[in-house]
Amino acid sequence: MTQEQVLAKPILIYWWNMGQKTLDIKGTLKEALFNKGIIYRPLPKTKKYAGKVGWVFTFGVSASTTTHEVVLQHLDVTYFERACLDMLTSYFKQLGDRTSMKFDNRGTTKINFYN
């Protein structure tokens, strides 16, 4: 599987607004990342990352911007998939709203559900 195939997988995201379940995104993983302003790029080719592969993810919630570096010893598309989902989860955790996310018709991930 390639990175583009991972980005083309379906995702369904709901969030709760004032106690009411609302459809947020129904589309592909690529569309969800774009919709939430999550930018990803390969690690820079610098001395710090010599011999390593991975991605740098950047996103902002409100006035803050968060940068996450995902550094791997080898490049495997399953790690890219997990990193993308982790960044979406981090985004919604920082936002603080209840969210449910179903990726590639797998089980539902619930975020910010405390009860």
Give per-residue pLDDT as tens, 65-88.
777 766 665 666 778 888 899 889
Length of the chain: 115
pTM: 0.83
Q: Hey, CA dihedral for 100, 63, 38, 25, is it positive or negative? A: positive
For the chain, the average pLDDT equals: 85
Residue 103, pLDDT above cutoff 90: yes
**What average pLDDT does the segment 38-65 reach?**
80
User: What pLDDT is recorded for position 14?
Assistant: 96
10-17 and 64-72: which strand pairing?
unpaired
**What average pLDDT does the segment 97-111 reach?**
91
Cα separation, 101 vs 26, whole angstroms: 10
